[in-house]
Amino acid sequence: MCPVVHSSQSLHTRYTTRVSISKPPLCKMSMDSRARGVFAAAVEAVQPDTVVRQSIERKKDSVIIDGHKFTLKNNLHLVGFGKAVLGMAAEAERIVGDHLVKGVISVPHGIQQTLQQHGKGHLLLKENSRIKVIEGAKHNLPDADAQEAAEEIKQLASRLTEEDLLLVLISGGGSALLPAPIPPISLQEKLDVTRKLAAAGATIQELNTVRRALSFLKGGGLANFAHPAQVIALILSDVIGDPLDLIASGPTVPTEVWPEEVLSVLERYKLLNSVPSSVNDVLGRASPRESKDKSSTSGHVLNAVIGSNSLALKCAGLRARELGFRPVVLAPGVCGDVRSVSRLYGLLARFACSREEPPPELAAEMLRLGPEVGVESWDLCRTMQVFEEGRTEGWGATCLLAGGEPTVELTGKGRGGRNQELALRVGVELRGLKHPPNGPVFLSGGTDGQDGPTEAAGAITDAGLCEEAQAQGLDIETFLTNNDSYTFFSRLSAGKRLLVPGLTCTNVMDVHMLLIPPIPINIR
């Protein structure tokens, strides 16, 4: 049983010997503005050029990356794939371009024009760049252009020798931008399987497990083709826990493919009997991918995570403190159905906003829900204790931060994404609490700036949401049933609750934020 302290007196006694903690500075900005400011700081921390610049140390004709030194002698080749890779490649070329022989990167369709239009020229390659850019994967779905890019990347890697260095840049969206299905699987067949899994509510880990097994380059395939060259992968992680084998489906991580694991995922979502025969053919083979000796390959690969959700949350916390909040990170791996996630945040808000000792049922339900949504019991206990201390010791306002990627089971055909739906559901959970500035504010936003097929990254909500919607004739339940959170927030008060940061140029999953104002307590 974890050590949740329920007595104000015992908390006071227990912490009287501590050094007094200074309160964060007062801030006159609205809760809404401060929430948006903290989210902006999270995104800024994981900009593609910033993370590359901080990870490559150039010393004359060598570089130091993740504590390892590599000699440069006009032997550097570069490949990359992902939503943030163009900016990563531009910065890498600025640092080591004098030794670059050739490069190929696969980036989202229209990204160069979009960056230019948004004044992000520093994330574009120079005119005389040695890196070839191929745009593909419209709507974040693998297509013929992305497949052409994957083939060129494979060919470049295959020609390398033991004298060469291959710098691999990876970010979110990398799976869709590096499609190389194993014959006889067609690109369309692989896409259909992925679509059905996503619509059924499969996690990003499950999607990547399946994509990896059906691809030449994923699951260490790229590293195999590059052998015996030295491979250095710089990774901007968009997966919970930063597991190297799942980020972009692990093209530089030698991984065993277990057909049984893939079949288990398909069976879990009742898709086992509807996959094409070509998929069953590939999964039925003993070794679906050409593989060199795993031990010799892995010794020539360095994988370094240079940006992640944890880094974004850390910098968000620093900004929160500047804006008058005491920052607390709950967890960087929140997952599971948005219904359960929203319930947990609602309970945390009620616990934190209680003017008296919260009823034990609140803590009990949170501890039951925690493991279901990727939050350890210890982290919940720690967070509840911080809220208790905040009340008794008068810390003032608190900013609870978390990251991750919840899932939405599609029941309708509306527009929206997991962040907007989560915000909408949390707004319902907060009903009955005080309105800002005396009540909590919740924000959920995707760091890639796009939540589902919409211009919004997420939304901001509070305890006044239901009354506001009712006054404007908007039935929340109808919008939730149709997965139409974007339409709801667009119509509600002219869209003022939507989070629309524009082009963020990065992706490290989502940021969740619960702002708790100072709560005056009744001391008995």
CA distance 111 to 434: 43
CB 489 within 8 A of CB 498: yes
CA distance 219 to 210: 10
Q: Which residue has the tokens 């790229």?
A: 222
Q: Does residue 319 share a domain with residue 302?
A: no
pLDDT confidence bin for 519, thresholds 50/70/90: confident
Task: Answer yes or no: is 2 within a domain.
Answer: no
Q: Does residue 249 share a domain with residue 319?
A: no
Higher pLDDT, 390 or 368: 368
Q: Which two tokens stand for residue 394?
A: 């008068």
Report the pLDDT value the prediction gives residue 15, as an integer from 0 to 100.
29
Q: Does residue 256 share a domain with residue 321?
A: no
Q: Which residue has the tokens 């908007």?
A: 474
Instruction: Write the pLDDT tens digit of every residue in 398-417.
Output: 999 999 999 998 999 999 99
Starting at the edge strand that comes first in sequence, how are the strands of the sheet with 458-462 ordered?
Answer: 326-334, 398-404, 510-516, 441-446, 458-462, 498-499
Max mean pLDDT range (198-212, 218-232, 234-248, 283-297): 218-232
Q: End-to-end CA distance of the chain, in Å?
A: 27
Q: Which residue has the tokens 């490559």?
A: 56
Q: Does residue 360 share a domain with residue 303?
A: no
Q: For residue 349, which of 475, 230, 439 has the smallest C-alpha distance? A: 439
Structurally, the chain folds into a number of domains equal to 2
Q: 239, 273, 307 — which closes off a domain?
A: 307
Show the domain range for 339: 309-516
Q: Does residue 384 share a domain with residue 343?
A: yes
Task: Answer yes or no: is 52 within a domain.
Answer: yes
CATH value at residue 271:
3.40.50.10180
Q: Does residue 474 share a domain with residue 508?
A: yes
CA distance 44 to 62: 29
Higher pLDDT, 441 or 174: 441
Q: 237, 272, 307 — which closes off a domain?
A: 307
With pLDDT > 70 as the criterion, what percentage of the chain qualifies?
92
Q: CA angle, 234 as apex, 228 and 237 as ends, to 5°?
A: 130
Instruction: Write the pLDDT tens digit of every residue in 136-166.
Output: 999 888 899 999 999 999 999 999 999 999 9
pLDDT confidence bin for 208, thresholds 50/70/90: confident
Q: Does residue 364 share a domain with residue 502?
A: yes
Ramachandran area for residue 74 (φ above 0: left; ψ -120 to 50: alpha; else beta): left
Give me Rg for the CA atoms of the chain.
24
Q: Does residue 138 share a domain with residue 220?
A: yes
Task: Answer yes or no: is 315 within a domain.
Answer: yes
What is the 3 state secondary structure string of 190-241? HHHHHHHHHHCCCCHHHHHHHHHHCECCCCCHHHHHHCCCEEEEEEECCCCC
Instruction: Write the pLDDT tens digit of every residue in 214-252.
Output: 999 999 999 999 999 999 999 999 988 999 988 888 999
Q: Which two tokens stand for residue 80?
A: 């990359």
Give the residue-averaged pLDDT of 80-91.
97
Q: Does residue 318 share a domain with residue 237?
A: no
CA distance 92 to 100: 10
pLDDT confidence bin for 289, thresholds 50/70/90: very low
Bridge partners of 168, per DSSP, are: 79, 233
Other C-beta atoms lying within 10 Å of the C-beta of residue 494: 8
For the chain, the residue count is 524
Report the pLDDT value the prediction gives residue 11, as an integer from 0 to 100.
31
Q: Does residue 324 share a domain with residue 217?
A: no
DSSP-based three-state secondary structure for 152 = helix
Give the residue-averaged pLDDT of 304-325.
97
Q: Does residue 332 share a domain with residue 440?
A: yes
3-state helix, strand, coil in the chain (%, to 5): 45, 20, 40
Encode 117-143: b = buried (16+ Cβ within 10 Å), e = exposed: eeebeebbbeeeeebbbbbbbeebebb
Task: Answer yes or no: is 38 within a domain.
Answer: no
pLDDT confidence bin for 195, thresholds 50/70/90: confident
| Residue partners of 51: CB distance under 8 A and separation at least 6 | 88, 234, 236, 306, 307, 311
Report the pLDDT value the prediction gives residue 286, as an integer from 0 to 100.
54
Q: Which residue has the tokens 């980036």?
A: 107
Q: 307, 340, 362 — which closes off a domain?
A: 307
Report the pLDDT value the prediction gives residue 224, as an integer from 0 to 100.
95
CATH value at residue 407:
3.40.1480.10
Task: Answer yes or no: is 198 within a domain.
Answer: yes
Q: Which two tokens stand for residue 502?
A: 């524009």
Give the residue-averaged pLDDT of 8-24.
38
Encode 366-379: b = buried (16+ Cβ within 10 Å), e = exposed: bbebbeebbbeeeb
Task: Answer yes or no: is 1 within a domain.
Answer: no
Q: Does residue 193 share a domain with residue 102?
A: yes
Task: Answer yes or no: is 3 within a domain.
Answer: no
Q: For residue 309, which of 342, 345, 330, 333 has the smallest C-alpha distance? A: 333
Task: Answer yes or no: is 273 within a domain.
Answer: yes
Higher pLDDT, 355 or 117: 117
